[in-house]
Structure 1
Amino acid sequence: MIDLDLTGAEILLPDGLAHGRLSFERGNIVDGPVGRAVDLTGYMVLPGIIDLHGDGFERHLAQRRGAMKQMDQGLVATEAELAANGITTAMLAQFVSWEGGMRGLEFAEQVFAAIEATAPTLVTDIRPQLRFETHLLALYEDLPGLIEKWRIPYIVFNDHLPHDRLAAGKPPRSLNGQALKARRSPEKHLAYVQSLHERRAEVPAALDALCARLPGEGLRKGSHDDTTAEGRAAWRTRGVQIAEFPETTEAAEAAHLAQDGVVLGAPNVVRGGSHKGNMSAVEAICMGYCDAIASDYHYPSPRRAALMLADTGVLDMTGAWGLISTGPARVLGLTDRGSLEIGKRADFVVLEAQSRRVAATFAGGAVSYMSGDIAGRFVG
């Protein structure tokens, strides 16, 4: 952790970009100056990116089945990628799913234990997110205790069962691959997912009871892939007030009108549409139905998405970058970060003004990433 005055750069303040000075001391932004100045002429300084939902870390923890035995090293590699993309706070979205393997309960136990042990040694603020498959009824009784044990601050409810195919008597499209990851025979895996599908009528009432038992304070709750206003309303009555990646305009509008937090995917913005043919994130943003953008599966995308929205005039720079900084901070209830205001954490990213590549990232006033010519300005 260092104390510095950054001068000469364009700084994104709450009221827009301006040339000025950004001072930070003991990990927080201060009125300053603090004494040692670094000239960042030719650069931009923006609030650090807060990523609400990202599963790009999976490739670092287990590139191949059973390959990663030391998860702490995988988390170190994950932090390097996060920091290189300007992310200063990251929710690592880990499944507990019927799919097994890297999405099974045993693997999740290892991931959450590794995060708890390793996160305090990292500069980037890394936190766990639990993605829970709603049809795992056998885990409902234990789930509140597991959330406490794993220190989960954010749970998201998913349902990725291929109900249409199962209802038609057809196996999942990736049955053999799923069975291999779950260490079951294809026949046993098919029987298992069919048994989950057959109990689908029990799930809504079970969810009502489960959500009533989950902590009301300190635990953020989200739904995933909402498709209807009625479905979103059902989640809201359970105290689930974040809508992640709604698939339709109807669901996004319903969440927005109810003042639920709406999270959309940055890759959807960068691609110009959903790879699954769902609602366009850009269209939803134009309609005002978005509070935050998340990396989803690609850590470079939040920065690129925000810059694209500003460049194309969909939003001004404050509004566009706010979808990856101030917006996520509000959704997650993180009042100490998200903007470059006095008293906030010194979480910021430095971009080359011309290329807009990440030159440096600071989290809590400490360097998490630095590359290229900018290093000479700090150490010279």
Structure 2
Amino acid sequence: MTLELTLQGGDVLRPGGLERGGEIAIDGGLVTGAPAGRRVDLSGYLVLPGIVDVHGDGFERHLAPRRGAMKQMAEGVVAAEAELAANGITTAVLAQFYSWEGGLRGPEFAAQVFEAIQAVRGSVVTDLLPQLRFEIHMLEDYSTLAAKVAEWQVPYVVFNDHLPHGRLAAGKKPPRLTGQALKAGRNPEVHWQMLMDMHARRDQVPGRLDALCAELAALDVRLGSHDDQSAADRAVWRERGARISEFPETMEAAEAARAAGDPVILGSPNVVRGGSHKGNASAVELIAMGLCDALASDYHYPSPRRAALMLDRSGLLDLAGAWRLVSDGPARLLGLADRGTLEGGKRADILVLDKQSQRVAATISGGRVSYMSGEVAGRFLA
């Protein structure tokens, strides 16, 4: 059931800035310009657009909390949705690997994840969008991938390359090879040979990628690349139609994306931590240079909210500019013109934040409550 309410007294973040003691109404799942239904006093709270998380894999801990422990995959997706809602996320892209790495990243696990998302999407409140992260050296999978993407209703595919090419070229085994092989259910020597074989066929990849990207584009699938390292990398992916640059590793790659009008996604944990855990380009520096369109949760769902608030507190951006990176920016990147800002006629995706603690008090997605806790619940139920 969708709400019919007028929220008043809170500080409402409009596209032009913060409206102190503002008023916003919800009716029919949308934000409306005219008052609607009962009035709810939200003085002491911030009323913000719901977070659009453009890339996150934090759901893995719910789907497989311990090896072999989770057999009901759909229940794991439902649990993940609850965590998303508790962190103010109203639209979430669930980024699932399709990789030679196996285990939680293997093709078999990916199939189960996408089927589970399909099974529960209609029964949860948060809008869940699947993303497939494809390892580009899996040449045997190219011929069937587009059909699988269509079957799983995946609207967004990103390309990865996690092969340790430098070590493979030198004939050296990568660190942690044995553990990685065992997670994938392979003999370590078989796993090692598989890596060497994929590396040896690397010259076949570019042509196959060109054809695969064309197939996916014909299905209206959004395409992106992951971990661009240079302007040349970005140019190659752009030529293939993979316009989104996820987590560029260098300023050069981010600048090349911006110059060409390609959207750039950075990780919000990078902002919260004050730098990349892998030593890549600092998200804060890239944001300061205007080289970011969207901040993603990456592996930690509380981080988009925390990152946007930190950017505001630091003075690097005002609240409207900082919050745009977790709401309107991601929505635009995904082609979701119906959300991302609190304007009449758009989806009622709303995050109610306690001004003192800056904790999430309530989350409303499409006019329906997905999360509510504490004192604010009494105001809604009074």
The residue type equivalent to 2:4 in the other structure is D
Task: Check whether the contact 1:72–1:114 (CA below 8 A) recurs between aligned residues.
Answer: yes
**Any stretches of 5+ residues in structure 2 without a counterpart?**
none
**Structure-2 residue corresponding to 1:9:** 10
Deviations 1:257-304 (A, max 9, x none): 100010000000111110111000000001111000000000000000
Q: Superposed, which structure 2 residues align to 1:1-380 within 5 Å?
A: 1-18=2-19, 19-216=21-218, 218-380=220-382
Secondary structure at the aligned position of 1:142 is classed as helix
**Any stretches of 5+ residues in structure 1 without a counterpart?**
none
Task: Check whether the contact 1:88–1:363 (CA below 8 A) recurs between aligned residues.
Answer: yes
Deviations 1:111-159 (A, max 9, x none): 0000001111000001100000010111111111111011011000000
Distance 1:31 1:79, change over 3 A: same
TM-score (norm 1): 0.99
Deviations 1:153-199 (A, max 9, x none): 10000001111111121112121121112111111111111111111
Secondary structure at the aligned position of 2:9 is classed as strand
Task: Check whether the contact 1:130–1:155 (CA below 8 A) recurs between aligned residues.
Answer: yes
- The alignment's C-alpha RMSD in Å is 0.8
The residue type equivalent to 1:134 in the other structure is I
Using the TM superposition, give the Cα deviation of residue 316 of structure 1 relative to its aligned residue in structure 2, in angstroms: 0.9
Aligned mates of 2:16, 2:146 — CA distance in 1: 42
Task: Check whether the contact 2:136–2:161 (CA below 8 A) recurs between aligned residues.
Answer: yes
TM-score (norm 2): 0.98
The residue type equivalent to 1:251 in the other structure is A
Task: Check whether the contact 1:265–1:294 (CA below 8 A) recurs between aligned residues.
Answer: yes
Task: Check whether the contact 1:222–1:241 (CA below 8 A) recurs between aligned residues.
Answer: yes
Secondary structure at the aligned position of 1:356 is classed as coil
Task: Check whether the contact 1:24–1:32 (CA below 8 A) recurs between aligned residues.
Answer: no
The residue type equivalent to 1:250 in the other structure is E
Runs of 4+ in structure 1 over 4 Å off: none
Task: Check whether the contact 1:144–1:214 (CA below 8 A) recurs between aligned residues.
Answer: yes
**Matched-pair identity in %:** 64
The residue type equivalent to 1:260 in the other structure is D
Aligned mates of 1:274, 1:216 — CA distance in 2: 35
Aligned mates of 1:7, 1:347 — CA distance in 2: 16
Aligned mates of 2:186, 2:344 — CA distance in 1: 55
Using the TM superposition, give the Cα deviation of residue 372 of structure 1 relative to its aligned residue in structure 2, in angstroms: 0.6
Aligned mates of 2:86, 2:311 — CA distance in 1: 21
The residue type equivalent to 2:28 in the other structure is R
365-374 or 212-221: which moved more? Answer: 212-221
Secondary structure at the aligned position of 1:264 is classed as strand
Deviations 1:320-364 (A, max 9, x none): 000000000110000000000000000010000111110000001
209-218 or 305-314: which moved more? Answer: 209-218
Aligned mates of 1:72, 1:140 — CA distance in 2: 27
Secondary structure at the aligned position of 1:92 is classed as strand
Using the TM superposition, give the Cα deviation of residue 26 of structure 1 relative to its aligned residue in structure 2, in angstroms: 1.1
Deviations 1:5-64 (A, max 9, x none): 000000000010012111010100111211300000000000000001000000000112
Task: Check whether the contact 1:48–1:86 (CA below 8 A) recurs between aligned residues.
Answer: yes
Aligned mates of 2:158, 2:297 — CA distance in 1: 15
The residue type equivalent to 1:90 in the other structure is A
168-177 or 55-64: which moved more? Answer: 168-177
The residue type equivalent to 2:207 in the other structure is A
